[in-house]
A and B are shown apart, each in its own frame.
Chain A
Amino acid sequence: EAGVTQSPTHLIKTRGQQATLRCSPISGHTSVYWYQQALGLGLQFLLWYDEGEERNRGNFPPRFSGRQFPNYSSELNVNALELEDSALYLCASSSSDRVFNQPQHFGDGTRLSIL
């Protein structure tokens, strides 16, 4: 079974540019989650998509947005990039069963560096 895949592996941008990160969930999973892991700040929840809808978002400004496609893949868009956006962005997916004990399965992340 293929795991969660993310692309690109690394992304280098400059301040003010826009970045697009992509995620393909495990086959059969309809929920996709995005996290930011900045140095020293742990995992910060960004967004949750399920069945094509945004279900919840963390405490991030509106320039962080995304969408989920009919095939359940997802992309995260970050506009007007700032230096502090430099981080590892992790995508996770979980089963469509709406039970709280379903674990999330993570991809290897996209390393976003802002120059």
Chain B
Amino acid sequence: AQSVTQLDSHVSVSEGTPVLLRCNYSSSYSPSLFWYVQHPNKGLQLLLKYTSAATLVKGINGFEAEFKKSETSFHLTKPSAHMSDAAEYFCVVSVPSYNNNDMRFGAGTRLTVKP
């Protein structure tokens, strides 16, 4: 079975400084991995996805993530935080199964951006 662990429940950065949101996964098969962002009272928006192509994945709004199989990690980064990045971020793992909805969501990381 697969699972995903977001290592920090809350991350606080200053505007203009780098962002690092950490995600580790567990899977018996080659997984697909996703990062979503959720702003208050909104749904989840897809930031980026990894599906066994390039290990460095670029997403929207300047975010990127690197798939490291040896470390079973898929950390999300951004060089310079903006105030608008303050939100909840979810790491998601998906593996082949008969029930192709078998996506496992991490518990989320709340990102705070200080002026």
Binding site for B on A (CB under 8 A): 4, 31, 33, 42-43, 45, 48, 55-56, 88, 90, 92, 94, 98-109, 111
Query: Which of A4, A45, A100, A108 counts the most B-chain CB atoms under 10 A from its CB?
Result: A100
Among B32, B43, B106, B107, chain A packs the most CB atoms within 10 A around the CB of B43
Residues of A within 8 A of B90 (CB): 43
A94-B100 Cα distance, complex, nearest whole Å: 10
- Are B43 and A107 in contact (CB-based, < 8 A)? yes
Show the binding face of B for A, using Cβ within 8 Å.
32, 34, 36, 41-46, 49, 51-52, 90, 94-97, 99-103, 105-108
For the complex, what is the distance from the CA of A109 to the CA of B36, rounded to whole Å? Answer: 15
Residue of A nearest to B103 (CB): A104
Other contacts beyond A101-B32, A103-B46, A109-B42: 16, CB < 8 A: A4-B43, A33-B101, A42-B106, A42-B107, A48-B101, A56-B99, A90-B43, A98-B100, A100-B95, A100-B96, A100-B102, A102-B100, A104-B101, A106-B44, A108-B42, A109-B41
Across the interface, which residues of B come within 8 angstroms of A107, CB to CB? 43
From residue B40, how far is it (CB to closest CB) to chain A in Å?
10
Interface of B is mostly: loop
- B104's closest neighbor in chain A, by CB? A45
State whether A101 and B49 are in contact (beta carbons under 8 Å apart), knowing that A4-B43, A108-B42, A108-B43 are contacts in the complex: yes
| 16 pairs, CB–CB < 8 Å, chain A vs chain B | A4-B43, A33-B101, A42-B108, A43-B90, A55-B99, A98-B100, A100-B32, A100-B95, A100-B96, A100-B102, A101-B32, A102-B100, A103-B46, A104-B101, A106-B36, A109-B43
A42 to B34, CA, bound (A): 16
Q: Are A105 and B99 in contact (CB under 8 A)?
A: no
Which residues of chain B come closer than 8 Å to A42, judged between CB atoms? 105-108
Closest Cβ of chain B: how far from A38's Cβ, in Å? 13
B69 vs chain A, min Cβ distance (A): 16
Q: In the complex, what residues of A have CB within 8 A of residue B46's CB?
A: 103, 105
Does the CB pair B100–A100 fall under 8 Å?
A: yes
Q: Which residues of A contact B106 (CB under 8 A)?
A: 42
